[in-house]
Amino acid sequence: MPHPAIVKDNVAVITGGASGIGFAAAMAFARAGMKVCVADVDEARLAEAATKLSSVTSATHVMTFAVDVSRAESLMELERAVGAHYGGTDVLMNNAGIQPGSTLFGEPDHWQRIIGVNMWGIINGSRIFAPNMIARGRAGLIINTGSKQGITTPPGDPAYNVSKAGVKAFTEALQHELRNTSDCHITAHLLIPGFVFTGLTAKGRTEKPAGAWTPEQTVDFMLARLEAGDFYILCPDNDVPRALDEKRMLWAAGDIVENRPPLSRWHPDYADAFKRFVTGD
C-alpha cells in the first residue's frame, strides 16, 4: 500500500521539480493520480516539464510556478497559489538544490547563494507550508532532499557540505516538532541520495556512469521507504555497498567521540586505521 498521503487527488508540491530527482518525483506523483505543482527557477524547463506531465495525467492536474526558494517571499507566493488553485498541499518535497562547487575562502556571494538555495530553501519551504498542511487535519509528508556529503562532509566542496549538514539538522528538528504537535498528521523525512545522474552531477557527461542511479530509481526507492515509515531514506549506490556508507558515517561521528582530527578519514595518520575499521581486520 502506498503512503496515505500519496493517493489520487491529493496535492504534491515539488521544488526543483523541473528536472532530475524532482521531476522524477513529480512524474511518480502524477502517475499515482495526484495533482502536482512543479516549482522551479527555470521557466523554460517548467514549460517542458508541464508538457511531459500532461502526457501521463490530466492537464488540470498539472501546475507550474516560477520560484526562487532562497527568498521566503517567493515561497509564500507559491504556497498561496497552490492553496488558491488546489485547496492546499498534502506532500511537500523541498528538493531544489545547486552544486556549482566552492572553496573555503571563495567569494562570499557564492557561499550565500549555495546556502540560500540548499538550506534556506528547505527551511523556508517547511516553515511556510507546514502550518496550513497541519491545519488540513490529514496525513501529509514533508520530504527534504539532503546528501551523504552533509553527513560525512568530505573535503573539496565546503559550502555544499555546510548547506546539506544544515538540512539534516533542520529536518531532524522538524520531525521532532511535528510529532509533538497536537493533532498533527504530517511527518518529515530526510532523503539522502547517493550518486544520481542528473544535470547537477553530469559535469559534461552525456551517458550515465555505471555506478550512478537514475532519478527514477531514486524516487522508487524513496516511495518504498516512505511506505515503510523511514525517516532517514539512505539510498545505496551501484558501486558502494550500504555497509561502506554506514562505516563512513560511523567513522565521521567517531572523530568527535575519539577526539581525532576533523575529517580524519582523509588524514594520512589515520588512513590505515580507517581501512581496518571498514574491513574489520
Q: How many CB atoms lie within 10 A of CB 1?
A: 6
How does strand 62-66 pair with strand 186-192? unpaired
Active site residue 232: no
Give the C-alpha separation, 277 to 281, whole Å: 7
* Residue of 86, 160, 232, 270 with catalytic role: 160
For 251, the enclosing helix (H) or strand (E) is helix 242-257
**CA distance linking residue 191 with residue 185, whole number of Å:** 19
Q: Which residues contact 272 (CB under 8 A, 6 or more apart)?
A: none
> Which is nearest to 235 in space by CA: 209, 265, 212?
212
CB 192, CB 232: distance < 8 Å:
yes
Residues with a known catalytic role: 160
